[in-house]
Amino acid sequence: MNHRSWFALTLLLVLVGSASATMSILTGGGDNNARYDAVAYNGIAGHYYAVGAHADSSANWQGYDDLVGEIGFLPGSTSSEVFGVAYGSQRTLVGACNNFGDNWQAFQGVISKPSGYPIVTMTALPMPTGTFGSAAYGISGDGSIIVGASGSSDLMSVQPTRWTSGGTVASLLPLPSGMVEGQANAVSLPSLTIGTTVIPWLTRSVGTVYDASYQTHAVKWVGDGDPAYGGDIALLDQLPGTTTSEALDIAATNYVSVGSCFDGTTYKATRWNYTAAQELPALPGSLGMVATACSFDGSYVVGYAIENGQDEAFIWDAVNGTRSMASFLSVEMNENIDGFTFEHASDVVVDGRTIVIVGDGTYFGNNGWMAVETLPAPEPASLALLALGGLFLRRRK
């Protein structure tokens, strides 16, 4: 039986109140768990694709692409998860496979249609010398650079890792002074194309590093982190009163990144501009906040609020501030969201007035969800800025 017709069914629901809005729900088999982790959008073609993972009929996690369906495993593996997607000259997925919880192996998968039907070709990414396990967590929007971690086979001890040259060359990113381990979570574009002009720059990656006491710190790499080649590495500022931090995503074309800081009791959603930290306002009654992703230019941020019993997804922008995803969709987008709960938002893409958000929550089970919405038209004074911004908002990080 085709996997789309039962446990991997994707439901496309046109919600009441907006003819242009669509909700996609990813369900799971086995224990009925599923999630979306990342989305790519090509504004020129008008295509958007979400990726993630769900429990298959044997309750094993399996990577999922909403065009291909289940992506399968690398040889010798029993599960797979997709953490990132790029929509450049070709559509590329990145993630990791494992064998019963051990022996993690980073992979990239390229989507093609050799016979008119989409398939994914998975390839193991090479490991740096002296490492035995790896995972790929982020990919640049053009698919040229992949970041993640490598180290012990079970990834209990890891080093930040970068893959270049189409995923064929692996190298370790340097650690800041005093840090002993870490991982890279996201990477920006290596260049920007405006019309026929290509503007190159050194990529920026963000991640989390550990000191000798295994306290976490948000970090940013410029290029490969080596000053001899124009690179740089810096710890990001922590919010006042906090002791640890982590950076989870970075904008494609500037120095905005997002994550969280922790004061020993409460997580605080954090947005950095270069290295300066800004705390995002919390949802009323929440016990903490984590920012998981930002839009192409960093103007929109999504994540989740930690609450008793069930987390709650949120969205933030400078004009409207922080609000729950349920409020954003039902009040601002005029959607009927009966039956939905939005626990976590994991990625956001904004292109012109189109906004695409993915995450996980519940809808007759633990499901992944994708919302495609049309933002309100800007005020007349903002139209010139929107026209300029449209040149930039073409690809996910």
User: Percent of the chain at pLDDT above 70?
Assistant: 83
Nearest-angstrom CA–CA distance, 33 and 56: 9
**pLDDT value of residue 49:** 80
Q: Could you give phi then psi for residue 58, rounded to 5 degrees? A: -100, 10
Tell me 23's DSSP state.
E
CA atoms within 13 A on the CB side of 239: 22
Q: Give the strand order in the sheet containing 244-250.
A: 244-250, 256-262, 267-273, 276-279
* Tokens linked to 65: 């692409």
Q: Is the pLDDT of residue 334 over 80?
A: yes
- Residue 305 makes CB contacts below 8 A (sequence gap 6+) with 282, 283, 286, 287, 288, 289, 311, 312, 313, 314, 324
- Residue 251 contacts residue 203 (beta carbons within 8 Å): no
**pLDDT value of residue 45:** 62
Q: Is the pLDDT of residue 209 over 80?
A: yes
- Residue 237 contacts residue 279 (beta carbons within 8 Å): no
Burial degree of 84 (CB within 10 A; 0-12, 13-18, 19+): buried
pLDDT digits (tens, 9 = 90+) for 162-181: 999 889 999 999 999 999 99
Q: Give the strand order in the sheet containing 366-374.
A: 10-13, 22-26, 366-374, 354-362, 341-351
- Residue 271 contacts residue 256 (beta carbons within 8 Å): yes
Residue 242: CB atoms within 10 Å: 19
- Residue 244 contacts residue 287 (beta carbons within 8 Å): no
**pLDDT value of residue 67:** 79
Residue type at 198?
V
**pLDDT value of residue 149:** 98
Q: In which band, very low, low, confident or very high, does the pLDDT at 392 lie, cut at 50, 70 and 90? A: very low
Domains of the chain with CATH codes: 3-376 (2.130.10.150)
- Residue 41 makes CB contacts below 8 A (sequence gap 6+) with 47, 48, 49, 87, 349, 351, 354, 356, 395, 396
* Tokens linked to 275: 């290295």
Nearest-angstrom CA–CA distance, 211 and 204: 22
**pLDDT value of residue 268:** 98
CA atoms within 13 A on the CB side of 384: 1
User: Secondary structure of the chain: what % helix, strand, coil (to 5)?
Assistant: 5, 50, 40
- Residue 171 contacts residue 148 (beta carbons within 8 Å): no
Give mean pLDDT, residues 315-320.
96
Q: In which band, very low, low, confident or very high, does the pLDDT at 254 lie, cut at 50, 70 and 90? A: confident
Max avg pLDDT among 85-89, 101-105, 113-117, 310-314:
310-314
What is the residue whose two structure tokens read 């019993």?
309
Q: Three-state DSSP class for 249?
A: strand
